[in-house]
Amino acid sequence: MAPFTLAVLVSGRGSNLQAIIDSIEKKDLPAEIGLVVSNVKDAYALERAQKQGIESIFMDPKSYPDRNSYEQALVERIQAKSVNLICLAGFMRVLGKHFIETFSGRIINIHPSLLPAFPGLNVQKRALEHGARFSGCTVHYVNEEVDGGPIILQTVVPIYDNDDEASLSERILEQEHIAYPEAIRLIIEGRLTLSGRRVLHGK
Ligand code: GRF
């Protein structure tokens, strides 16, 4: 059987990429990573991929005339690898219509809040400022709304009175590292069905 191939798009530290790598290594995830792409040159995620011998590239948005040509180049790199699923893992760029339509239903993202609460940036800070008593992480399909696609998995964490942004981020991140590989596994096993904007989990 052909391997289930992932492309992982990153911009920074890459701890979620590492969680995916580790799950594959432990044989918890029947997949391979065909390609890691970063839009940031010195992203630590690139080093993590290289250490693992995974093909990894920095694609500089500044060396393309506009957003469409950057995304077209990205589409071509990914298509060349016969990728089954694109995982955004801290990828700090909003993807446009062409990219999303090309890989429709095959792009997922992880976000450090319980969506639809707190989409966008600085979400742990905003959850604290808002006085939320719970936060968590969400793995969702990517559509054209920022952080707005159908929700695959969520994990809840409590927010304590003495939390600050760092402590809350850490508590959420720990759960992200479990939830992301788990969501990918559900997809590989063909367990998910889309019904409107709901994702139903089969047995
Ligand atoms: C994570 O908190 C993820 O939810 C968000 O960006 C962060 C990326 O962290 N989208 P890392 O690069 O995977 O360590």
pLDDT above 80: residue 13 = yes
Q: Is the pLDDT of residue 54 over 90?
A: yes
Ligand 1 center to 56 CA (angstroms): 18
pLDDT of residue 38: 98
Q: What is the pLDDT of residue 197?
A: 93
Residue ranges per domain, the chain?
1-104, 110-140+156-203
CB 176 within 8 A of CB 109: no
Ligand 1 geometric centre to CA of 169 (Å) = 10
For the Cβ of 15 lying below 6 angstroms from any atom of ligand 1, the answer is yes
If you average pLDDT over residues 62-66, what whole number do you get?
97
Q: Is 113 in the pocket of ligand 1 (CB under 6 A)?
A: no
Tell me if 110 CB under 6 Å of ligand 1.
yes
In terms of C-beta distances under 8 Å and separation of at least 24 residues, what long-range contacts does 147-152 make, across chains too?
A: 147/109, 147/111, 147/115, 147/116, 147/119, 147/120, 148/115, 148/116, 148/119, 149/109, 150/194, 150/197, 150/198, 150/199, 151/115, 151/198, 151/199, 152/108, 152/183, 152/186, 152/187, 152/192, 152/199
The residue annotated as part of the active site, out of 111, 130, 140, 201, is 111
> What is the reported pLDDT for 10?
98
Pair of tokens at residue 101:
């339509």
Dihedral sign from CA coordinates of 87, 96, 199, 135: positive
Ligand 1 centre from 175 Cα, in Å?
A: 11
pLDDT digits (tens, 9 = 90+) for 15-41: 999 999 999 999 999 999 999 999 999
CA atoms within 13 A on the CB side of 155: 19
Question: Helix (H, G, I), strand (E, B), or coil: what is residue 39?
Answer: coil
Instruction: State how far the Cα of 187 lies from the Cα of 197, in Å rounded to an integer.
Output: 16
CA angle 92, 120, 108 (to 5 degrees): 60
Q: Is 136 in the pocket of ligand 1 (CB under 6 A)?
A: no
Beta bridge partners of residue 140, listed in sequence order: 109, 151
Ligand 1 pocket: which of 176, 177, 178 to mutate (most atoms <8 Å of CB)?
Answer: 176
CB distance 179 to 192 below 8 Å: no
pLDDT score of 202: 84
pLDDT tens across 149-203, in order? 999 999 999 999 999 999 999 999 999 999 999 999 999 999 999 999 999 998 7
pLDDT tens-digit map of 68-109: 999 999 999 999 999 999 999 999 999 999 999 999 999 999
Beta strands 56-58; 32-38: pairing state: parallel
What pairs with residue 33 in β-bridges? 6
pLDDT at 52 over 90: yes
The residue count for the chain: 203
pLDDT value of position 1: 72
Q: How remote is the CA of residue 1 from the centroid of ligand 1, in Å?
A: 32
Catalytic residue list contains 111: yes
DSSP code per residue over 120-160: SSSHHHHHHHHT-SEEEEEEEE--SSTT-SPEEEEEEEE--
User: In terms of CATH architecture, what is 110-140+156-203?
Assistant: 3-Layer(aba) Sandwich (3.40)
- The distance in angstroms from the start CA to the end CA of the chain is 23
Residue 130 token pair? 């808002």
Pocket test for ligand 1, best of 16, 124, 146 (most atoms within 8 A of CB): 16
pLDDT of residue 183: 98
Average pLDDT taken over every residue of the chain: 97
Question: Which pLDDT score is estimated for 191?
Answer: 97
Q: Which fold has domain 1-104?
A: Rossmann fold (3.40.50)
What pLDDT was estimated at residue 2? 77
Same fold, 1-104 and 110-140+156-203: yes
